[in-house]
Amino acid sequence: MTGIYIHVPFCAKKCPYCDFYSVPYRKATAEAYVQAVIRNLKHYQNPDTVDSIYFGGGTPSLLSVKQISDILETCSTNFKLDSMTEITLEHNPTRTDRNYLYELRKAGVNRLSIGTQSFSDTQLKLLGRTHTAKQNLETVQNAFQAGFYHISCDLMLALPYQTEQVLTETLKILTSLPIQHVSAYLLQMEENTPFYTSPEILDNLPDDDTSADRYLQTVQMLEKAGFYQYEVSSFAKSGFESKHNLKYWYCQDYLGIGAGAHSCIKNRRFYVPKEIENFCQNPVQEEITISENACNSEEKLMLALRTSRGVPLSALQPEAQKKLAILIKNDYIKLKENNYIAMTPKGFAVSNAVTAMLI
């Protein structure tokens, strides 16, 4: 099984905390870009069944339904899809329009990942988002009415002024919605973003302990509402885990199409340079190899540790086995019935440090 990732590097407005490469949306550039995506999809042959297609960005919902539909048609002509193929589109809730959502569903998109981030207008304003909490609600409700029964919402944590009460309010609203999945990310301070040098942001960032508390509060409230944690940042109702996201953590194949897209195919990890003009002009996207030996045992271990499935105890080196007892005693790691180990929520909150002890 393979996944296809389609990168859409356009945004209507740059968010002040984001360092992803994206350019302002222009109709003509977007059309040339879509044609290049289609050209590249035709170039790659893969006999495996494609069980996930993921439109990520940037802001894929800036594309028209016709553009998305043309891309999906090319996928179904050139690859083997089936009725269970998960087709996700990242959607910016600035666009609440039910008709667009209905047409998207008709075009074959069956999973929506909505960039809600927060249900507090004050927090959304601070983040420089172009939508309100009301638009978040409208988008989720319209998506559900348009026939999306697999909806994910993004949630940002460790924000300035995000008290326990503020987060509780957001989580209460989030868990009352007809959604099946939540992706929760801690705000990262990235160089070369306005946030990185903003005195207001810097003076009001929560410390590590407070960030961990907000994270654990999120895990608890989501679990109470039926969303179990299956990865550091991912929570789902049973059966609604994202097939596409799991490919990254289980070292399965995925093909990335588009400027800046990454791929991992048969242990070869490569990426496409991020310049949009080159991508549009080249007959076939340029591939820069990162590793011919990706998904080696160490990398597999490191990635699988991010999931609640965890790793077999036997996969750990003897040195790591010695540290395990301390991690278990302090509730960072739990031993599972099948002789697997996995991080506890407390372990996930400091996952990099725990992973470093075990690798």
Restricting to residues 163-182, name those near ligand SF4 by CB under 6 A: none
Dihedral sign, Cα of residue 137, residue 142, residue 145, residue 149 = negative
| Alpha helices per DSSP H over 44-163 | 65-78, 98-107, 121-126, 133-145
CA distances (Å), 195 to each of 16, 22, 214, in order? 6, 17, 20
Q: How many beta carbons lie within 10 A of that of residue 81, not counting itself?
A: 19
Of 51-59, 161-169, 193-201, 202-210, the segment contacting ligand SF4 by CB under 6 A is 51-59
Q: Report the alpha-carbon distance of residue 267 to residue 251 in Å, rounded.
A: 8
Selected binder of ligand SF4 within 7, 8, 36, 57 (CB under 6 A): 57
Q: How far is the CB of 67 from ligand SF4 (least distance, A)?
A: 18
Q: How far is the CB of 294 from ligand SF4 (least distance, A)?
A: 25
Residue among 4, 8, 15, 159 that touches ligand SF4 (CB under 6 A): 15
**58 binds ligand SF4, rule: CB under 6 A:** yes
What is the spatial distance between Cα 275 and Cα 284, in angstroms, rounded to a whole number? 14
Binding piece for ligand SF4, criterion CB under 6 A, among 16-24, 100-108, 235-243, 293-301: 16-24
Using CB under 6 A as the binding rule, whether residue 18 contacts ligand SF4 is answered as yes
Size of the site for ligand SF4 (CB under 6 A): 10
- CA–CA–CA angle 19, 22, 27 (5° rounding): 160
Dist. CA 135–CA 131, nearest whole Å: 6
What letter represents residue 14's amino acid?
A: K
Does residue 20 touch ligand SF4 according to CB under 6 A?
Answer: yes
Q: What are phi and psi of 42, to 5 degrees?
A: -70, -25
For ligand SF4, the closer of residues 182 and 295 by Cβ is 182
Nearer to ligand SF4, 11 or 81 (CB): 11
Q: 330: which 2 tokens?
A: 């302090």
**In the complex with ligand SF4, which residue's Cβ is closer, 22 or 116?**
22
Of 95 and 346, nearer to ligand SF4 (C-beta) is: 95
Residue 283: Cβ within 10 Å count: 8
Binding residue for ligand SF4, selected from 1, 14, 97, 102, defined by CB under 6 A? 14
Q: For ligand SF4, which residue of 2, 40, 52, 59 counts as binding (CB under 6 A)? A: 59
Given the rule CB under 6 A, which residues bind ligand SF4? 11, 14-15, 18, 20, 22, 57-59, 92
